[in-house]
Amino acid sequence: MSPDRPTLTATPHNVGVDAAVAAARRVVTALLHAGDGSAAAMAEVASRLTAVAEHLEEHAPTRDERLVDMWAGEGVTRHDPVTGPENAVAPPLPLSGLPDGSIQGTVTLGLPYQGPPGCVHGGVSALLLDHTLGVANHWAGDSGMTGTLTLRYHRPTPLFEELTVRARQVSVEGRKIRTTGEILAGDAVCVSAEGLFVNKHLPRPR
Ligand SMILES: CCCCCCCCCCCCCCCC(=O)SCCNC(=O)CCNC(=O)[C@H](O)C(C)(C)COP(=O)(O)OP(=O)(O)OC[C@H]1O[C@@H](n2cnc3c(N)ncnc32)[C@H](O)[C@@H]1OP(=O)(O)O
């Protein structure tokens, strides 16, 4: 971690659940690449994946226990659907703080996130921006829940190219927090976002 750019997201470990989740992401991507015309023995693949799922389910704690555990310690950063190393849905997008108070990260998205041909799904862009704006608020010190998120899709966002996702808190008025952000491909802004967050926090499960 650079002192100029503190890491704001959980760092993945190459062991334990993080390693299993990295493998699961690879499976999701490989299945999409394989498609229905694949020569792979899909019945056998399905059977082996089902066995893995049953093994995990058999050894999992109860849902209530897991919810308490998830929100302890580092909390959301290990399992959220954007940055979390424990969440196979997360691309993942690592985020760092910049000296000017903004935050930024880079990510390359593949087929699981496709909307228009060869491009990122608009809802996926919304997910990345909502979360990144939320982390920018935590980094700035005043945070809350998304009240309104306004997006402008300037140009298609490419798959398979490095994207920069960045955000910054703009103002705090009472409980209302305004935050903006963008997704860029190279220097070109693909999506921009304006968020109105309201300072309210739901209690952690206990
Ligand atoms: C140090 C760094 C470490 C990093 C560490 C990372 C930590 C981890 C980061 C996680 C980052 C997650 C980022 C994802 C964030 C979600 O995904 S949050 C989930 C999506 N959002 C929701 O589910 C919210 C659902 N809505 C609600 O719960 C409530 O409607 C709200 C939005 C909290 C507001 O309710 P309320 O508290 O009753 O607000 P209320 O008193 O009616 O209004 C207060 C003011 O806000 C305004 N307002 C209320 N609602 C709205 C609205 N929807 N739109 C605009 N204005 C509104 C009102 O007009 C009022 O304004 P004034 O009259 O004061 O001028």
In the reported structure, the alpha carbon of residue 143 is separated from the centroid of ligand 1 by a whole-number distance in angstroms of 9
- 16's tokens: 């334990």
The minimum-distance atom of ligand 1 relative to the CA of 97 is 2
Q: Is the CB of 83 under 6 A from ligand 1?
A: no
- Among protein residues, the one with the nearest Cα to ligand 1's atom 51 is 147
CB distance 3 to ligand 1 below 6 Å: no
| Contact yes or no for 132/166 (Cβ under 8 A) | yes
What's the Cα-to-Cα distance from 64 to each of 20, 47, 69, 89, rounded to whole Å? 22, 29, 9, 21
Residue pLDDT, tens place only, 145-167:
999 999 999 999 999 999 999 99
pLDDT score recorded for residue 1: 59
Handedness of CA 107, 109, 115, 119 (dihedral sign): positive
Instruction: Classify burial at 95, counting beta carbons within 10 Å of its beta carbon; exposed 0-12, middle 13-18, buried 19 or more.
Output: buried
Q: Which of 149, 144, 112 has the alpha carbon at shortest distance from 129? A: 149
Give residue 149 CA to ligand 1 midpoint distance, Å: 10
Task: Name, in order, each residue with C-beta under 8 angstroms of 15's C-beta and a sequence gap of 6 or more.
Answer: none
d(CA 134, CA 147): 11
Q: Region 108-130: what's the mean pLDDT?
A: 98
Ligand 1 and 197: CB distance under 6 A: no
How do residues 78-87 score in pLDDT, each as one tens digit?
999 999 999 9
Q: Name the residue ranges covered by the structural domains of the chain.
A: 16-198
Residues found in the chain: 206
Task: Give every CB contact of residue 121 below 8 A, 6+ residues apart in sequence.
Answer: 113, 114, 115
- Output the pTM of the full model: 0.96
148 ligand 1 Cβ < 6 A = yes
For the Cβ of 178 lying below 6 angstroms from any atom of ligand 1, the answer is: no
This model of the complex carries an ipTM of: 0.97
Alpha carbon of 127 to those of 35, 56, 122, 193, 202: distances in Å?
26, 27, 9, 11, 20
Best mutation site among 137, 179, 198, 204 for ligand 1, i.e. most ligand atoms within 8 A of its Cβ? 198
**pLDDT of the residue at 75:** 66
Write the CATH number of the domain with boundaries 16-198. Answer: 3.10.129.10
Q: What is the pLDDT of residues 42-96, one digit of tens each?
A: 999 999 999 999 999 999 999 999 999 998 876 678 999 999 999 999 999 999 9
Compute the distance from residue 23 Cα to the ligand 1 centre, in Å: 35
**Residue type, position 101, single letter:** G
Alpha-carbon dihedral of residues 1, 177, 164, 99, nearest 10 degrees? Answer: -40
Give Cβ neighbours of residue 51 (< 8 Å, ≥ 6 apart): none
The token duo for 58 is 């058999």
Does ligand 1 come within 6 angstroms of the Cβ of 116? Answer: no
